[in-house]
Amino acid sequence: MSSLLAVDPLLEGGLFWTPLFIVLIKVLVVFVVGLVATMLMVWFERKVIAGMQNRVGPNKAGPWGLLQTLADGTKLFFKEDLIPERADRLVFRLAPYLVLAPAFLAFAIIPLGGDFRDGKGGIVTLFGHETRLQLADPPVGVLFALAISAIAVYGIMLAGWSSGSKYPLLGSVRASAQMVSYEAALGLSLAAVLLVSGTLSTAGIVDLQSSVGNWNIVATGFVPFFIFMIAATAELNRPPFDLVEAEQELVGGFNTEYSSIRFALFFLAEFMNTITMSALIVTLFFGGPQPISIGNTTLDIPLLPNALEGTVWLLLKVLVFLYIYVWFRATLPRFRYDQLMDLGWRILIPASLGWFMLLAAQRVGRDAGWDQAVVTLSTAIVLIVGYVLLQLAYKVSRANREKDGASF
Amino acid sequence: MLSVIQPTSSWYLILAAVLFGIGAFGVMVRRNPLVMFMCIELMLNAVNLTFVTLATALSNINGQVVVVFVMVVAAAEVVVGLGIIVAIMRRRNGITADDLSALKG
Amino acid sequence: MELFVFVVAAAMVLGGALGVITRSNPVHAALSLVLTLFGIAVMFVSHDAQFLAAVQVIVYAGAIVVLFLFVIMLLGVDRTEDVNIEPITVQRPLALIVSAGVIGIVIAAVVTSRDLLGRKVGGLDETTLGSPDANIRQVAREIFGNNVFAFELTSVLLLVAVIGTVLMARRVKSGGAGK
Amino acid sequence: MVLAATMTAPEIAWGALTPLLILLGGTCLLLLLGTLVPRWPRVATPTLTIVTALAAGTAACVQWNNLYYRKGYSIVADAISIDRFSVLITIIITVAVALGALLASAHHDDANGDPLENYALLLTSAIGAVVMGSANDLIVLFLGLEILSLSLYLMAASDRRREESQESGLKYFILGGFASAFLLYGVALVYGATASTNINGIAEALTERIAVGGSDAMLLVGIGLMLVGLGFKVSAAPFQIWTPDVYEGAPTSVTSYMASAAKVAAFAALLRIFIVGLESRVDDWRPVIWVLAVLSIFVGSTMAVVQTNVKRMLAYSSISHAGFILVGVEAAAHMEGNGLAASATYLAIYTMMVMGSFAILIAVAGKNDTATTLDAFKGLAKRRPALALAFSTLLFAQAGVPFTSGFVAKFGVIKAAVEVDSYGISIAAMVGAVIGAFLYLRIVVSMWMEEPETQEPLEIPTVVSVVIGISVAFTLVIGFFPSILLDAIELVRFAPL
Amino acid sequence: MLSTLIQSAGAATEKTAVAFPILSALILVPLLGAVLVTLLSNRRPEYVKFTALIVSAGTGAMSLWMLAKFDSHEAGFQFVSQHEWIRAWGISWHLGVDGISLFLVVLTGILFPLVIVGVDPHHDEKRYLGWILLLEAGVMGSFLSLDLFLFFIFFEIVLVPMYFLIGGWGYDKRIYAATKFFLYTMFGSAFMLVGIIATAVLAQRDLGYITFDLVKIAEEATFGTNTARWLFLSFAIAFAVKVPIFPLHTWLPDAHTQAPTGGSIILAGVLLKMGTYGFLRFGLYLFPAAAVWAKPVILTLATIGIIYGAIAATMQTDLKRLVAYSSVAHLGFIVLGTFAITSQSLTGSVMQMINHGVSTGALFLLVGMIYERRHTRVIAELKGIQSVAPIFAAAFMVVMLSSVGVPGLNGFVGEFLILIGSFETARWWTIIAATGVILAALYLLWAYQRVFHGEPDEANSTFKELTLREGSLLMVFIGLIVFTGLFPKPMLNRIEPSVDKLVKHVELHSDYKAPVHKGGHSPATDTAHEGGE
């Protein structure tokens, strides 16, 4: 039956106790790593921002304040759990888990290490069984990520709605609109990656990015990466797209009414999501656990076995993006809601679509044996014409609206 | 391995039939247009399950392809249907199908 | 194992479906719908239709039901519908008879046609099933091969949806007519 | 990886798709120009729509002539059949679109202008309808149906001033979606029984199966469910419940189009699926058609009689017309004889009749669709004799009085039925026609023999009079010289397998 | 325009007798006239009436001309004109006239101008005249068609103008009556349509090609016994409603009473004859065996109709309703004669069709005149008119006696032939029917007595005498009544050959044998032949 699991060489030939044990270990490791990473991420973010703002940041609990998050979490855990009177109790309780689950699920398809060199495809041997260092490598891997990101919106939506209160509801309505809108751009830039790599499996995608020149960020021509990055930030509801919890406008946004451990879960999920998304970006565009290699020279970390070295490389690359996210938060002002929508619909979606078409045209040209330059140029011209028409249409519709005296 | 009984295609088809019936029942008895609409989605999902099961049973990929199209149709239907519902509800708050009294046969 | 998956998924599907038709709150109904959709997605996976499973989640759970919820929340129509009020006395029994009839007839047909289901007519390339992208490749080949016309038609369908939303979203000035 | 290398894309005969491409091109052009040109003149939209429709119709006529030298054929991997039948349906639908656009342009309100989207939807619905008429694959057919239906739901809801319009759109939408689900479930079961969604493939599979044997249960249930779905779409009793409400609520220009093009397309689909695909099981489904036909005729006629709103009357009468077309289908199910040609003739004539009738409704009810009750027609002969005469002609045509096209249509289906010894259905149909005649007489009576309630002058927009003129002229010309139509439609055939 | 048409017709006939399509002209001239009248300006009403009159008079003249040119020795169809019309269905524009339809056509041609001249519609004259002319075209078409399809559409199209005439210009309950009339007749036609199609289709299986041609089907096609019976039945229902035969007659009193005078005259004069004519042409001729089979039932119904009509007439309080019920009785005679299937009875039937048209038409005209003067038709309110308006009363008397069937007037010839002819093949029915003659005398004379005798009361004392126009109009009717009554031979001469042919046809196609007299000829036939030689 299910070849969702069968792709991993570990699971070929039926389920027996050792493979099952390996899988259980993997699940445990991923979960624990996730939790610990989140804890560290919170500390990291506070510390970095503090640094940028010339403050010290947490420094009391543990060395360099490392245990501060743990302390906060403990405190929240013992707080009284409040449920508002007008809340929809069932959904109110359910929502935090709905937020948390996708954050961890998406992590399952990230290749966490393994040796991708010399055509080994990231397969390592554990207890005499060949396997990958990732929880699952479904054949529809990237789509799985997309699916998870699609259902991530539920938690936020329902949390806001079930609170039975005005501001959380507004926050969640905003959130759902925002996330649905940016998912289109996210998906389209993702499609560019898929077009280049020709597979949906994350391991397969990593496998193809053996050197920097092969990294998808280069192969797809940078634009999809930037769009993906922006859209991902919006999907995460992180600054500068954190309208969901814009304190000035909505008090605390969708989670205003939450307290105690439920609130902690939202918090946990948010940071977990950031980590997952960074890992996904790295996997899709920056070769994942592949070491940095330019041409034939590979930056090899001495002493470490290749399989473990992949994990280190992944960590390093992810850290860069985590830093970037914190950096965003520290420096960029929040968008206004209409600006947010304009950016998503007027710029990101057309741009990613156009770029996708350009890439597609090139591939068609290549398969058909046409002159690449001509294909690129003519596609570009078509796209430019399209862009001009689009702008013209915006102008006309704005003029028409103003003529009709519309207020928006 | 874990069990000697394996579900056959018929099981899935019967499940789909039940799902379809439940959806149809819902359309007929519920009065909130949104919920009626959800019930239609249930029916479409039953159809999808039927198609996929048959694709496996007949070893014919066409059944799966059909489902892709059905999903597109469902998406388009939702957009249109919700558009209409929103247009109505902007005029007044909260309706059930009973409130559509202007058109009582 | 397969039985286990089937039972769990079937429970999800039916539980969700019953939830949709019995829950009086539209939001709960929508959530029940999501449960059903996931159950269906699981069944797709157990039929080697991974692509469809993913699309099922992305399109149905990720877009369709979200839109439902969005509309419910945006319009504030989440007031509870009293499911005990019956508008027309015969409606429910009649609906019950009709839907039970449909279920019964289809089940009878399925059971008597079991012999048809075993036959392999071909078209599904089972030799490549082991490779990671097999399902997606087959579906793609079929969509852009024999079903390319239908695929192109879906673009028209979506065009209609776009035009429709624009039309429905347009603000109207009262032309004096109507109530 | 190299997908293109391993798959063979079907050859697309672009030439054969010309009418569809013209319609699609017209839609896109309309939308583009509408969004890009700031001062888009009001008449330009309907004009462009009509030009597109007529161009597509002309292309279809050219195809018709080409088919003189060539039997029907199917293209794009058997997805689409190009044969006399599909081309005829295309022509009928393009005409309906052109007339519908004319009516729509008379029907807008001044405050909100004449939304471009209405015309774009008109064209897209035509695409759906044409696809339904020529689809040779159940999935293509289903997509065509959905394109058509979605456009129609929106068109029905498009009059934003009247709440009834949106409600009718919603009602149509929910019941239409319900019906689509049934249709699709039927398709699924038929697929299970035949392992194909292609109509030719189904036919072949079933013919083989006759030799092999095996249970037909799944197939039959599938056929039944498809009939339920299509029955909804053609508004045959007992699946007609939505028709009166939706017809009444929708803007009249849309109702006219809905009553004509949508029904034509649904019947085209019904005919092709059942006659071509399920030919080998004809004995199983023919009785069902029989029952549907008789029920539709009687339900349509009798329910119409008790209405007080002319729009609802016409809605019920469209149900009884559906019954008559089903009589033709039943005759066509006997394979020998002229059932197919008779049904096609009926569809063509019905389209023109119903367009004209609703055009008159528009003329009387005005832009706001307010006055559609029978009272509004009282004494019309005193206010606008020509209009009353035109309406009487069309109503008599619907009743099937000689020297009108309606008589030719009814005569055709009855003849087709009698040719295959279906006497019962013929007599039932004729008796139903008499009951129906009572309805038409009621309207005629109030127009000619009662005093008008108001003496307000009735302004008839020019475009509406054009539509009425065309319709009445068609009705009379075909009534006196049916050969013009019959000689052509006699050639209607499905593409050979 | 019209006159040139007639001139050219005349010129044409000098060369070749069949060159001018006289029968087509009989249909098309009133049809075009109707269109012309409708298009005329409302501002000059006198032109409208004049035009209509010219058109109908022209048609009447043409019918008389046709009568003059009719070859009385020829039993078959004359002046035949045949053009292909709807190729796909094998339908042609096939017209022809023989002895059976000849006088009906002439009657139609004469009656319409008289109605146009003699009856005033009071309002909306233009539309009224338009419908009348359309009606004339339809009636002509019905009598002339030799194609089943063509016959059916004329048979049907007649309903429309008649419906409007009753509904638009009738009396209080006109709409009820009009609708009843329309639906009844259409109900009957529904069956006939299926029958016609079935006839053509079944004939196609026999002949190998599709045709709706009456002559071809009747002469060449054969049907199975049961099939033919069913087909006959489907036609019979339509004709039975139209005639009307008991118990399908209930529309007739309403329609007659509520119709305007002109409508009543036409209805009684020619429209009802479409049913009896249909029995002859499409019952006996098309399905002889089935007609013979159905004979007892129809004869019974006809007899019941005669007695019932007479009794019902006796009980009427409304003069017009009385005349209407008398029609039911008279038409019963015609049907009796038709289904007795002897040469004499058939000849009598055809005769009686004409006679009934003339005399009942005249009766309705007279009743209309009474209503014009008194605004009532209730017998009880009329009294002693004879003393106030003796000429009027005399005219009424003559017409009424003709209706009763007094020797020397036309009614006698027809009824006598029918009774004589029927006695041999339908003895008991004939005996019962004969009592109907006596009853007719009873109720008509009684009515006359109540209306005309006695002292006029105040309301009736100012009853106006006939005007010149009315008088001259009535003179035509009375002239016809008297002429036919005294010299039936020219008519019989022309009717006989066709009727004989029909009887032979029936004998040939069924096991029925007509009774033989004097070497196979009935007395009437003998006289006809003598006259001919």
For D152-167, b where at least 16 C-beta lie within 10 A, e where not — what string?
bbbbbbbbbbbbbbbb
d(CA E374, CA E390): 16
pLDDT higher than threshold 60 for residue A3:
no
Alpha-carbon gap, residue D290 to B61, rounded angstroms:
36
Q: The domain C1-82 is classified under which CATH number: 3.30.565.10, 3.30.70.640, 3.40.50.2000, 1.20.120.1200?
A: 1.20.120.1200
B:22-81 residues touching chain C, CB 8 A cutoff: 22-26, 28-32, 34-35, 37-39, 41-42, 45, 48-49, 52-62, 64-65, 67-69, 71-76, 78-80
Q: How confident is the model at residue D98 (pLDDT cuts 50, 70, 90)?
A: very high
Residues 121-160 of C with CB under 8 A from B: 121-126, 135, 138-139, 142-143, 146-147, 150-151, 154, 157-158, 160
Q: Distance between CA D348 and CA D341 in Å, rounded?
A: 10
Tell whether the model's pLDDT for residue E37 goes beyond 90: no
Is residue C179 over pLDDT 50? no
- Given a cut of 70, is residue A253 above it in pLDDT? yes
Mutate to test the interface with B, among D165, D180, D219, D241 (most CBs of B within 10 A): D180
Q: Structural domain of residue B33, as residue ranges?
A: 9-103
Read off the tokens for C154: 């879906």
Cβ pair D174:B40 closer than 8 A: yes
Q: Which of A199, A7, B64, A136 is nearest to C49 (CA)?
A: B64
Please tell me the predicted confidence (pLDDT) of residue B1: 44
Question: What mean pLDDT is reported for chain B?
Answer: 81
DSSP state of D109: B
pLDDT reported for residue D128: 93
> What subunits make at least 3 CB pairs under 8 angstroms with A?
C, D
Share of chain E above pLDDT 70, in %: 93
Amino acid at A182: Y
Across the range A4-18, mean pLDDT stands at: 56
What phi and psi, each to the nearest 5 degrees, are found at residue D198?
Answer: -80, 135
pLDDT at residue number C157: 93
Average pLDDT score, chain A? 82
Q: Is the pLDDT of residue D4 over 50?
A: no
Q: What are the backbone dihedrals phi and psi of residue D384, each rounded to the nearest 5 degrees, phi first?
A: -135, 90
Average pLDDT, chain E: 82
Distances, alpha carbon D363 to alpha carbons C78, D164, D357, D459, D468, in Å: 43, 20, 10, 7, 9
**pLDDT, position E369:** 85
- Tens of pLDDT, residue by residue over D468-478, are 999 999 999 99
Q: What's the pLDDT score for residue A302?
A: 75
Where along chain E do its domains lie? 2-528
Query: What are the residues facing D135 on neighbouring strands?
Result: D80
Closest CA to E97 of E39, E144, E152: E144
Residue E525 has pLDDT above 50, yes or no: no
- Which segments of E119-169 does DSSP mark as H helices, in order? 125-144, 148-157, 159-169
Question: Out of E153, E179, E190, whose CB is closest to D403?
Answer: E153
Number of domains making up chain B? 1
* Tokens encoding C38: 């996931």
Provide mean pLDDT across the span E30-45. Answer: 80
Q: Which domain holds residue A176?
A: 79-335
Judging contacts by C-beta atoms under 8 Å, the chain E residues touching residue D401 are 156-157, 159-160
Q: Residue A177 domain-assigned?
A: yes
> What's the confidence (pLDDT) of residue E529?
40
Count of CB atoms situated within 10 Å of the CB of E438: 10
Question: What whole-number percentage of chain A has pLDDT above 70?
Answer: 90
Closest CA to A215 of A153, A270, A291: A291
Helix (H, G, I), strand (E, B) or coil at E345: helix
More confident residue, B102 or E58: E58
Rg of chain A (C-alpha set): 23
pLDDT value, residue E4: 45
How many Å apart are CA A253 and CA D240, to the nearest integer?
Answer: 49
D17 pLDDT band, cuts 50/70/90, is confident
| B44 chain-D contacts, CB cut-off 8 A | 181, 184
Q: Which two tokens stand for residue C118?
A: 């075993």
Q: Is the Cβ pair A199, C133 closer than 8 Å?
A: yes
pLDDT of residue D94: 93
> Inter-chain contact C54–A7, Cβ cutoff 8 Å?
no
Region of poorest pLDDT, from E38-42, E110-114, E413-417? E38-42
> Could you tell me how far CA C117 lies from the centroid of its own chain?
23
Name every chain D residue with its beta carbon within 8 A of the beta carbon of B56. Answer: none
**Chain D: residue whose CA lies nearest to A399:** D38
Lowest mean pLDDT among A299-313, D106-120, E183-197, E206-220: D106-120
pLDDT attached to residue A5: 42
Omega within 30 of 0 (cis) for the link into E113? no
Phi/psi for D424 (5° steps) reads: -55, -50
Q: Which subunits count as partners of chain E given 3+ CB pairs below 8 Å?
A: D
Helix intervals (H) in chain B = 9-29, 33-58, 62-89
Tens-digit pLDDT profile for residues D363-386: 887 766 667 777 778 888 888 888
Whether pLDDT at A24 is above 60: yes
Q: Which one, of B43, B69, B59, lies nearest residue B9 by Cα?
A: B59
More confident residue, E267 or B98: E267
The pLDDT assigned to A248 comes to 67
* Tokens of residue E170, six digits: 């009738």
Summarised one tens digit per residue, pLDDT across range B30-88 is 878 888 889 999 999 999 999 998 888 888 888 889 999 999 999 999 999 998 888 88
pLDDT above 70: residue A29 = yes
Q: CB–CB of D30/D123 below 8 Å? A: yes
Does any domain span residue B2?
Answer: no
pLDDT at C176: 41
Token pair for C7:
């039972």
Question: D465 or A250: whose pLDDT is higher?
Answer: D465
Residue E246: pLDDT band (50, 70, 90) is confident
Among C40, C46, C50, C135, the strongest candidate for a mutation testing the A interface, having the largest count of A CBs within 10 A, is C50
pLDDT at A14: 55
Residue E145 — φ and ψ, nearest 5°? -65, 135
Residue A245 domain flag: yes
pLDDT band at C175 (very low <50, low <70, confident <90, very high): very low
Domain count, chain A: 1
A297-298/D73-75 β-pairing: unpaired
Q: To the nearest whole percent, how much of chain C has pLDDT over 70?
A: 77
Per-residue pLDDT band at C86 (split at 50, 70, 90): low
**Comparing B99-103, E208-212, E357-361, which segment has the lowest mean pLDDT?**
B99-103
Would you kindly state where each structural domain of chain C is located, as residue ranges?
A: 1-82, 128-172
- C55 contacts on A by Cβ (under 8 Å): 143
Q: How far apart are CA A206 and CA A142, in angstroms?
A: 12
What pLDDT does residue E528 have?
Answer: 41
Kind of pairing between the strands at A129-132 and A293-294: unpaired
3-state secondary structure of C23: coil
Q: Which two tokens stand for residue B10?
A: 């018929």
Q: What is the pLDDT of residue B18?
A: 92
Amino acid identity at E90: G
User: What span, in angstroms and rounded, lies between the C-alpha atoms of D281 and D222?
Assistant: 12
Residues in chain D with CB shorter than 8 Å from the CB of A389 are 32, 36
With a CB cutoff of 8 Å and minimum separation 6, the contacts of E479 are none
Residue E13 has pLDDT above 60, yes or no: no
Question: Residue B13: inside a domain, yes or no?
Answer: yes
Q: What is the pLDDT of residue D153?
A: 92
